[in-house]
Structure 1
Amino acid sequence: MLSPSLRLSKRALLSLAALATSAAVLSACAEPSESEDAAATTATADGEKTILTVYTSEPEAKVDEINAAFMAAHPEIEVEVYRAGTGDLNARIAAEKESGDIEADVLWAADSPTFETYAAEGDLAQLQDIDTADLIEEAVDEDGYYVGTRIIPTVIAYNSELVKESELPQSWADLTDPKYAGQLVMPDPAVSGAAAFNASVWKNDENLGEEWINALGENAPMIAASNGPTSQEIAGGGHPIGIVVDYLVRDLAAEGSPIDLLYPSDGVPFITEPAGVFEASENKEAAELYINFLLSEEAQQIAVEQNYLPVREDVGTPAGAPALADIALMTPDLQVVTDDKDAAVELFQNAMN
């Protein structure tokens, strides 16, 4: 059952008719879930498996682990994955729309604004049978087009062998101090969906804004292709301080790398790695089974083991990670962030050159 919940802001782009449809769908979901019945009907009549195509920005090893668990629970479904950064996924989807229909069933990637845009363009189906009862409200789209699967904050990370504790920045504002010139690294917002989201959050924050972005550019940060190379650059010491998603720091620290993190005192932007079903999908029942699995206690426990903060509170958190309630989250107007994302990315690119 898809249960409505308040989230950060309303979608201004959807028409009144779409909102009315959403209300009808949510009301219709008052009956008990029929997920098990759907599972029995996903295989074709001649016994062949349903092929479910997932476009995702999840790291390969992590998505493979989730998919293996899902296919063990649902042997009638075979999951095929196309994995790329959010920018590349968007380019592929745009090309497929130009030539015909989107070829994937599920999109599982990065940030809510990406999904807001696809929902407004009619590319996402409203979810019919998704159980959100145990999820935190930040993970649930009130109009029912997508649902978050992880909480992924962006933090300040540092090389613990090269940076003394007394020299650490404590806030985003601190990163503009000239003493950090030449020491910083961050992901490219033109490639990383999380970085693009962050750019818009920072640009529209009254305490940071364009002035902060331009001042950060004066410290000449290295721009890595994405969050993965950013975390490696920090751990390797080439640029010992950086801006990166938190789970990658925990991954590297667990492997023995000299890297640690702090959650800035002026708040952290975060993404929820949403999942949704494309309207053009011919496998919507199987796609919703997949999303329900991502939200299940089993899959959320796997997410915690993969160093993510979960979207439900009954599975704990990764070792050494704070509870979500203990992190100062930046909670911008989601519509503003969505509408301004392209301009924010352009501003960042100009500021860093």
Structure 2
Amino acid sequence: MTRPIRSRSLRRTLLSGGTVLGLAGLLAACTPASGDDAAEGEGGDGLTGSITVYTSEPQEKLDELIADFNEVEPDIEVNAFRAGTGDLTARLESEQTSGGIQADVLLAADAPTFEGYKADGLLAQYEPAGSDAIGEHLRDPEGYYTGTRIIPTVIAYNTGEIDTPPASWQDLTDPALQGQITLPNPAVSGAAAFNAAVWYLDDRLGEEWFEALGANEPVIAESNGPVSQAVASGQQPIGIVVDYLVRDLRDAGSPIEVSYPSEGVPYVYQPVGIFESSENQEAAQAFVDYLVGERGQALAAEQNYLPVREDAPTPEGAPALSELSLLSPDLDEVTAVREDALDVFTNTIG
């Protein structure tokens, strides 16, 4: 197996050999010291061109991310197409059959999606700068993709409508909650599809839990955004949703709070990967370096995400990762049962 390409600064040194050594003294004489910026992928290397990013990132956060990246790499134009993971997958399948993938970078919700593209030989190997600060369970060991932020799915509730919030996933099957629950559609949301597989595999939940939840006639929304809005407005006072959206709305003054279920929470880590067909690999690598570097991770925390780097800050009002009970089944098992879990969800809930 070919080893992953490492950070752009190291790769250039290996490729350029004596030329780099010959220029080192001259560059040192005219370049100010920059600490560890190069090692952490903090840019400033004069890259140019454009890249296209396919992503499920919310538009406002995406705009902030691109603007901050361009503070680091002002000469790289980032074009983005955003949609739910299911729609992104459909678009990429269509492009594969009609001339080739148009994206350089994929930034989306769940690792099984990336495992499929990896198996098909569509992703390039790249080990971003600073990846040693990311837990091994949050990145592909062969270097085809890496996590960018940890996104747990929780129970959200409207504090003006709910006096005693559900404390577990099993609590959502209480008949007293009939018609009061909303959750995202796993056929559209990659995170929701991943969660369905995790719940399906859990001995405390499984198919019986899906059936009991379905008996409460929950409302199925297209994605996590409408779920959080429905809970915040009180239209559906309880929702199954990613936690950062709850913090966003709470910070904006909405009567919404988080309950972390006692059985544990499923989570995705929004991987990023570079397509092998990208014609601007170095610019794409710079974007990946930024996402997992100190600056990109600091922005992730500002945007209410839990960072993947162990040395990054935690969002205000969020629990530390060590305080959460995470549901972490084997990725191969999740991938193997994903279609079965979606079938069960469709037959029992929606």
The normalised TM-score by structure 2 is 0.88
Aligned partner of residue 332 in structure 1, secondary structure: coil
Aligned partner of residue 124 in structure 2, secondary structure: coil
The answer to whether the 8 A contact 2:152-2:266 is kept is: yes
The within-5 A match list for 1:207-286 is 207-286=204-283
Name 1:25's counterpart in structure 2: 4
* Alpha-carbon distance in 2 for matches of 1:186, 1:326: 25
Name 1:188's counterpart in structure 2: 185
Name 2:125's counterpart in structure 1: 126
Aligned partner of residue 322 in structure 1, secondary structure: coil
The answer to whether the 8 A contact 2:44-2:72 is kept is: no
Q: Give, as a single letter, the amino acid of the residue that structure 1 aligns with 2:317.
A: G
Aligned partner of residue 256 in structure 1, secondary structure: coil
The within-5 A match list for 1:1-353 is 20-21=1-2, 24-25=3-4, 32=10, 34=12, 40=45, 42-43=47-48, 50-165=49-164, 168-353=165-350
Question: Residue deviations 1:2-23, cap 9 Å, x none?
Answer: xxxxxxxxxxxxxxxxxx23xx
Give the share of equivalent positions with the same residue, in percent. Answer: 53
Aligned partner of residue 194 in structure 2, secondary structure: helix
The answer to whether the 8 A contact 1:33-1:129 is kept is: no
Q: Give, as a single letter, the amino acid of the residue that structure 2 aligns with 1:260.
A: E
Name 1:10's counterpart in structure 2: none
* Alpha-carbon distance in 1 for matches of 2:97, 2:109: 23
Q: Give, as a single letter, the amino acid of the residue that structure 2 aligns with 1:73.
A: V
The answer to whether the 8 A contact 2:158-2:234 is kept is: yes
Question: Residue deviations 1:233-282, cap 9 Å, x none?
Answer: 11111110110000000000011100000111101000001100011111
Aligned partner of residue 155 in structure 1, secondary structure: strand
* Alpha-carbon distance in 1 for matches of 2:317, 2:240: 19
Name 2:23's counterpart in structure 1: none
* Alpha-carbon distance in 2 for matches of 1:176, 1:80: 43
- Alpha-carbon spacing, 1:207–1:122, altered in 2? closer, same or farther (3 Å): same
- Alpha-carbon spacing, 1:51–1:239, altered in 2? closer, same or farther (3 Å): same
The answer to whether the 8 A contact 2:42-2:290 is kept is: no
Question: Residue deviations 1:21-80, cap 9 Å, x none?
Answer: 3xx337x7799465679974743xxxxxx1110000001111111111111211221100
Based on CA coordinates, which of the two structures has the bigger radius of gyration? 2
* Alpha-carbon distance in 2 for matches of 1:143, 1:137: 11
- Alpha-carbon spacing, 1:29–1:224, altered in 2? closer, same or farther (3 Å): closer
The answer to whether the 8 A contact 2:42-2:289 is kept is: no
Aligned partner of residue 277 in structure 1, secondary structure: strand
- Alpha-carbon spacing, 1:80–1:163, altered in 2? closer, same or farther (3 Å): same
The answer to whether the 8 A contact 1:117-1:338 is kept is: no
Aligned partner of residue 77 in structure 2, secondary structure: strand
- Alpha-carbon spacing, 1:238–1:38, altered in 2? closer, same or farther (3 Å): closer
* Alpha-carbon distance in 2 for matches of 1:153, 1:141: 19
* Alpha-carbon distance in 2 for matches of 1:161, 1:38: 46
**Superposed structure 1 runs of 4+ greater than 6 Å apart:** 28-31, 35-39
* Alpha-carbon distance in 2 for matches of 1:221, 1:278: 38
- Alpha-carbon spacing, 1:31–1:287, altered in 2? closer, same or farther (3 Å): closer
* Alpha-carbon distance in 2 for matches of 1:321, 1:38: 29
Q: Give, as a single letter, the amino acid of the residue that structure 2 aligns with 1:127.
A: Y
Greater percentage in strand: 2
The answer to whether the 8 A contact 2:42-2:293 is kept is: no
